[in-house]
Structure 1
Amino acid sequence: MSTFLPAIRLLQPDRLKGLAPGVMLAVLIALAATFLSEHYGAPVMLFALLLGMAFHFLWDEPRCAAGIDFASKTLLRLGVGLLGARITFEKIGALGFGPILLVLVSVTATIGFGLLMARLFRRHWTFGMLTGGAVAICGASAALAISAVLPNRPEREKDTLFTVIAVTGLSTIAMIAYPILFTALGFDDREIGVMIGATIHDVAQVVGAGYAVSEEAGDTATFVKLLRVALLPVVVISIMLFARRGEGAKGVSLPSFVVLFAALVVANSVGAIPAVAAAALSEISRWLLVVAISALGMKTALKEMFALGAGHINVVVSITLFLMALALGLSVLV
């Protein structure tokens, strides 16, 4: 997984010039989404996503692509990392041990189910491992990390591309549908946050879905999601050992935005962050996330997912539904 700190160090003037068109476009969409949200009362994240998708054609514009990609990845991770300034150990302790157990069980079971579905739909086991890991942990980022340590097959690149598109598309659908579903099932905001954090693939859509419900749901969803993300190095190393391949392992490490998130949680818990500074970091984080969601929308083309084969789609959809069903079955833990 790429991280935001190395990218920030690379922001030289020529690099900034190349990023500016795409980033400014994402900022403009974020401002429009904020305006609509304030005047019509709908979630700003939803407006940002839908407006972004309406401008998907700009993702194919070379002058905009680099900035859009930067906003959807680097700014997203920085925004999530800064969310640690609004969370304390007291809030985490209020969650209890249940969500941690839920994450451990669901990640393990989902990867195993991915292998089973790959065999059922006559796909190579590496595809099951790839999609199972992507769904279980953190979507596209997990897919890229896992792909790096899988055996080098001719289909690996195509399978990786499909997985990235599929989990991004399904996460987009889940971002809209899951809050409605969990609310209809009678969950409170804390429980909805746990379920969103435990079931949606990508960090961006977890944040969008959580804060579309409430601040409490968003904070809870972010923490539960980062529990899943923190398992990525363990899963990648385990897959590497299972596949008996060493290449790609050198880059496995805990993502920097997870480290930043944890550091801010610790600092905020011991009172090292003044209330004014915590509020400022929280507001910066919110804007970064709206901009990132706007950029993610511009990168999303759902029709591409359905053009890559029914068998592949069946595997990743089955795994997604399994994760949601498993989380619902284990909801007594939360």
Structure 2
Amino acid sequence: MVRTGLLLAAVGGAVALLVHAAVAPLSATLVAIALGLVLSASGRVPDAARPGLRVATRQVLRAGVALLGLQLVLGDILALGWPMLVVIAGVVVLGISGTLALGARLGVPPERSLLVACGFSICGAAAVAAVEGVRRSKDEDVATVVSLVVVFGSVAMLVLPLGAFALGFDPVAAGAWSGASIHEVGQVVVAGGLVGGAALQVAVAVKLGRVLMLAPVLAVISYRSRAAAAVRPPLVPGFVLVFVLCAVLRSAVPVPHVALDVAGLAQNAALAAAMFALGCGVDVAVLRRTGRPLLVLAAGATALVALLGLPAALVTA
């Protein structure tokens, strides 16, 4: 039954959020996927739960991505100035293009390369989940790439502040570089906090500028998928439209902080439940066959995005 699977996903997501609350460096998405993988490997996923788990990996996941729009205040992003906006667009467009080109040279399957490209260039696990919602990627691919996003993003979260210090950047420049280069919003928050001063505010604003690029990128991916498919999906998926509407709502009217807190909790819970459900649907033996080319691609994408994000530090001067 659908209800059984949704309940299982909700419990798994809740446990992941509790672990994250207790040990902040542990990403809730990574914990959720790991819990799902453990349950899958044990062979204890009830057959009755599978329909509901599939709903969680689709509809619940898309709801979490749509609510991400409420984090965006367009005025704050535009206030960064056009040079920073050009850098942000360059990070996303060139990051995706460069990662796809590197993936082709390494022999990584195009679908996995696309997930890595969008996850590393835009906003981490949420971007991977959003692309999955458009492309209907395999659960194994999504789980693998989300894990790579967390691992390599966490490395960047620690290395970039040290690099900024070594290069003599002030807190604003260091925050801008972190926001332009690190994968997850949560990882950017940690990096900004490590730098201190005004770094956190700038880092989050720049990062949310990259998140805003999620909508046009998904529209392009959807258009290309539509052109290639025998049965055409919607030109712009419904959850992408809701994402945009949420961003417009947040920017146009004062949304109470209580409502934003509730929406943020719902977003985190939806993504955690969906990631747990993805883990439950993965054949663990497939993950063991994750080859070196994909790891090299992830490392290369991290380095590329960090290099493309470096001008963000320079335009703050």
TM-score, normalized by length of structure 2? 0.67
Equivalence for 2:216: 230
Q: 1:238 to 1:292 in 2, by over 3 A?
A: closer
- Provide the residue aligned with 1:109 in structure 2: 94
How far 1:169 moved relative to its partner?
2.0
Deviations 1:296-327 (A, max 9, x none): 36856999555233344434543343233322
Q: Provide the rounded CA distance (Å) in 2 between the counterparts of 1:229 and 1:118.
A: 23
Say whether residues 1:282 and 2:260 are aligned partners. Answer: yes
Aligned CA distance change for structure 1 residues 102 and 254 (closer, same or farther; 3 Å): farther
Please say if residues 136 and 323 of structure 1, whose CA atoms lie closer than 8 Å, have aligned partners that are also in contact.
Answer: yes
Q: Which runs of 5+ in 1 are unaligned?
A: 1-13, 37-41, 149-156, 201-205
Kindly indicate whether residue 274 of structure 2 is the aligned counterpart of residue 291 of structure 1: no
- List aligned pairs for 1:115-194, cutoff 5 A: 115-121=100-106, 132=117, 135-136=120-121, 138-142=127-131, 145=134, 163-184=141-162, 185-186=164-165, 188=171, 192=175
Q: Is the 8 A contact 1:84 1:265 kept in 2?
A: yes
> Which position in structure 2 is the counterpart of 1:39?
none
1:326 to 269, 289, 308: 308
Other structure's SS at 2:79 match: helix
Matched positions, count: 290
Structure 2 equivalent of residue 9 of structure 1 = none
Q: Is the 8 A contact 2:62 2:133 kept in 1?
A: no
Per-residue deviation, residues 39-97 of structure 1 (Å, max 9, x unmatched): xxx53x73635653552312454346666665566555544544544543432232222
The 8 Å contact of residues 98 and 333 in structure 1, kept in 2 or not, is answered as yes
Return 5+ residue gaps in structure 2 as ranges.
194-199
- Confirm or deny: 8 A CA contact 1:140 1:167 kept in the other structure: no
Aligned partner of 2:307: which letter?
A
Q: CA RMSD in A?
A: 4.3
Q: Distance in 1 between matches of 2:130 and 2:74?
A: 27
* Contact in 2 for aligned 1:46/1:208 (Cα 8 Å): no
- Cα pair 1:87 1:265 within 8 Å, conserved: yes
1:203 is matched with which residue?
none
Alignment of 1:312-323 (within 5 A): 312-323=294-305
TM-score by length of 1: 0.65
Query: Aligned residue for 2:207?
Result: 221
Identical pairs, percent: 16
Contact 2:131 2:218 in 1 (8 A): yes
Equivalence for 2:236: 253
2:196 — aligned with what? none
Specify which of 9, 19, 28 is matched with residue 48 of structure 1. 28
Whether 1:58 aligns to 2:39 is yes
Verify: 1:18 aligned to 2:8, yes or no. Answer: no
Q: Which moved more, 1:246-255 or 1:16-25?
A: 246-255
Question: By how many angstroms is 1:113 displaced?
Answer: 2.6
Residue by residue over 1:233-258, the C-alpha shift from the partner in whole angstroms, topping out at 9 and shown as x without a partner, is: 224535776xxx353653331552x4
User: 1:225 Cα shift?
Assistant: 1.7
What amino acid is the match of 2:10?
V
SS in 2 for 1:251: coil
Distance 2:115 2:71 in 1: 33
Q: Which residue of 2 aligns with 1:94?
A: 79
- Greater than 6 Å deviation, 4+ residue runs: 123-127
